[in-house]
Chains A and B, each alone.
Chain A
């Protein structure tokens, strides 16, 4: 039995599960569960009301079904909406009080929570199932006035900031999954960078789903005040389980005048086994609002995991001269499916956006780029450049491009390019002639294909992502 488990882990090394006693809300989605979550987090009344309002809308909303990857109906009553390690009933005050099993889990994942083993100066907020377990480097950040903590903590300590910005980019009147998240979100990260501060280190959240039958609904809120800068990283893994698990997070970014937010994701949720059994449904809503003048939001994502990835990190370019960027690599193998892309909504004058999307599909998988560029009539002198390239490996997989382009302003320009091709025999031959085996050759060529996006990632992540790109495609050639 154990050997079999180990064999499985070879393919997905984060597939282990931690045996830890959990404390869960009763199964099912109803008002009581929402009250339970709100109560256990000692939330103020306005937030509970807000959650219930969202829940009332969820009841009447229908799940969208226009996406390419179809999935079996999710029974929302058969999920746990809150799951926390039992030791968290009273939140531990410091790392010393933290359950050693948890620390071990994160060590295994390569995320040391212990600050002595500092991770090249990256501050980490670790989220385990429904709760944030630890946030590192708090002192260094507090000195600069930066707030980096779990959103539950922020609700207690900085209610004004949370109240002002929560739901201002993804309102509770949004689509089904976003609204569901508003109703039942459990934890996530909160970042506030005060005016004029350049955050001295990378901030990072590490998401881990452990418990079975659990949906993970976290909410991240990042506010960059005037003239500030922050770079934020997000990583995710989950154990291997035969059933599909739902992950429906909301991420809201707000950039005020002259502020810049850089948001990078390396998504490596469990993708299911070779026959497409199990895996995470990654239905995430990510949206950034360039609220102020000269603000900038840049999304970078490397999507290699999940059974189904369905997300569109978007930018609303409201402030004049604001800039939105989207860099994406999506890799699907075996039976994975992805429908991902971005939306660039130009509202302000002189706004600019850039989209670089690289999709690679292998095995029996299906990859779709779906994007919207919308330049409104008042958005003078705006421009967009979009490039989406797809690479196919084998003829059992699919690669699709569905861009929506709307230009309503005569002084604005939109340029869009897309290509689909395969790795040419000449390229492979050239590499193999120089002593690489076929897998190394493919990995090299694919990394070259992705280079434009990988360059955008912070150093440590880029190395990791490069490896991941190679691993995800293992066994797809020859």
Chain B
């Protein structure tokens, strides 16, 4: 914490900030100093003690990051399979924006937003983010505009970073009848950083948000991503996680269904090995009548890896006719792995349909036998079963080109 105090003061001096911003940052910094990194005593962190993990994997963190000169961006990080808009963040700093395929008047990206929230968050990692992230970014999709190509946000880190803590905060606003597709692509070359990303989404009437978070490539960073989504009537949000590459990752999503007939879909895949520890925590708040949510999370765990799924459906007493569903399944491939789940329901209305299911176990020996008796090798049979298990989640993706892209990235043949 000593590091944090001095580094925070240094950051404060360098930023060109208004008085209000300084006050907001100081308040958050104070809160973070008080709370520190979450540990097991925190109900939300019961299964993954980030304090310990940071200590073990990184050690004392260094929080001060110098403004880097904009350098050339390696072409090899870019995806060529799909036409897309780009936002490239290198070490948490904006390096490139490209919305050339969209109508200029309909989409706006602002990089000098005042970084002030109305309320102080009761999440110390968001406090940390608020204290250290400089100006926050804002993406605005205007009324009646449907984005043509998906937006890929590249999260790149390299070894030029001077701190071991990267913070990024973006606000997304979708006006009435608009739509947005965002792919978060993790491309890390940097080592052993704690990456803390905070997204705020606000969805107006009839808007559609699709967010795909892809952490496919091997890296040894510690990652925390928080999606805060507020939805008005008839809006739809779809969130998909491919949780695979980082040493530790926790994806948190909080979704407020504030308008009638709004719906939220959260789907996720954990495909882990080599001591990795990943977690998804989803909280869906049904606050008004006739809202719907659906969550599906599947894990395949090998070689000392662990996955955690904490899902919660909250139904307010006003939220009659809620339809809420949660399903989590896990295959534990070998004895060294662990799957933890806490699928919670908190319900205050009576005319609702809410259910959850959770199942975990080993690969089904009978199915393997069946496949092998038809000429497949053990390895092929295993692969077929695991891929079949996971592809059910990928098939929930409603955008065909992106579904294809993700299957490709994950290494699944298209026939699945």
Contact = CB atoms under 8 A, between A and B. Distances in A.
Interface in A386-431: 390, 392-422
Nearest to A68: B346
Nearest to B360: A407
Nearest to B316: A395
A156 B320 CA distance: 60
A418 B350 contact: no
Of B43, B334, B347, most A-chain CB atoms within 10 Å: B347
Given A397-B348, A400-B345, A409-B335, A66 B356 contact: no
Given A405-B340, A407-B330, A407-B338, A395 B348 contact: yes
Nearest to B46: A404
Given A413-B359, A416-B358, A418-B355, A400 B349 contact: no
Interface in B347-386: 347-362
Q: For chain A, which range describes its interface: under 10, 10 to 19, 20 to 34, or 35 or more residues?
A: 20 to 34
B41 to A, nearest CB: 10
A405 B355 CA distance: 16
B342 interface: yes
Nearest to B359: A415
A377 interface: yes
A397 to B, nearest CB: 7
A interface: dominant SS: strand
B317 interface: yes
Interface string B314-330: 00011010000000001
B343 interface: yes
B361 A413 contact: yes
A410 B334 contact: yes
Given A395-B317, A395-B320, A410-B334, A416 B344 contact: no
Contacts of B330: 407
B350 A392 contact: yes
A420 B330 CA distance: 24
Contacts of A405: 339-343, 358, 360
A418 B345 CA distance: 9
A54 B358 CA distance: 39
B351 A422 contact: yes
Contact of B343 (A403, A409, A421): A403
A396 B349 CA distance: 7
Interface string B20-63: 00000000000000000000000100000000000000000000
Contact of A410 (B43, B345, B354, B362): B362
Contacts of A414: 358-361
Contacts of B337: 408, 410
Contact of B355 (A66, A392, A398, A420): A420
A406 B357 contact: no
A401 B356 CA distance: 10
Nearest to B308: A406
B323 to A, nearest CB: 11
B349 A410 contact: no
A312 B358 CA distance: 21
B49 to A, nearest CB: 15
Nearest to B346: A400
B367 to A, nearest CB: 14
Contacts of A398: 346-348
Interface in A221-248: none
A363 to B, nearest CB: 12
B251 to A, nearest CB: 19
B interface: dominant SS: strand
Nearest to A375: B360
B338 A399 contact: no
A406 B340 CA distance: 4
B386 to A, nearest CB: 13
A393 B350 contact: yes
Contacts of A409: 332, 335
A410 B338 CA distance: 8
B330 to A, nearest CB: 7
A420 B344 CA distance: 12
A395 B320 CA distance: 8
Given A396-B317, A401-B356, A410 B347 contact: no
Contacts of B349: 392, 395
B316 to A, nearest CB: 9
A401 B340 contact: no
Contact of A403 (B317, B320, B358, B359): B358
A397 B346 CA distance: 11
A174 to B, nearest CB: 19
A420 B345 contact: yes
A159 B43 CA distance: 42
B334 A418 contact: no
Contacts of B334: 410
Contacts of A394: 350
A246 B398 CA distance: 55
B406 interface: no
B333 interface: yes
A228 to B, nearest CB: 34
A400 B344 contact: yes
A422 B350 contact: yes
Contacts of A420: 345, 347, 352-355
Contact of B338 (A408, A411, A419): A408
A404 B344 CA distance: 9
Contacts of A406: 338-340
A457 to B, nearest CB: 27
A377 B349 CA distance: 40
A407 B343 contact: no
Contacts of B351: 395, 422
A420 B347 CA distance: 8
B43 to A, nearest CB: 7
B353 A421 contact: yes
Contacts of B317: 395-396
B79 to A, nearest CB: 35
B352 A418 contact: no
Contacts of A408: 337-338
A416 B328 CA distance: 9
Contacts of A402: 342, 344
Contacts of B362: 410-413
14 contacts: A392-B350, A394-B350, A395-B348, A397-B350, A401-B344, A403-B342, A410-B361, A411-B335, A414-B358, A414-B359, A416-B359, A419-B354, A419-B355, A420-B352
Interface of B: 43, 317-318, 320, 330, 332-335, 337-362
Interface of A: 66, 377, 390, 392-422
Given A414-B360, A417-B355, A420-B354, 11 more contacts: A394-B350, A395-B317, A400-B346, A402-B342, A403-B341, A407-B339, A410-B335, A414-B359, A416-B356, A418-B345, A422-B350
Task: Give me the 10 closest cross-chain CB pairs, A-B, nearest first.
Answer: A413-B361, A392-B350, A410-B332, A416-B358, A401-B345, A405-B341, A419-B355, A422-B350, A420-B354, A407-B360
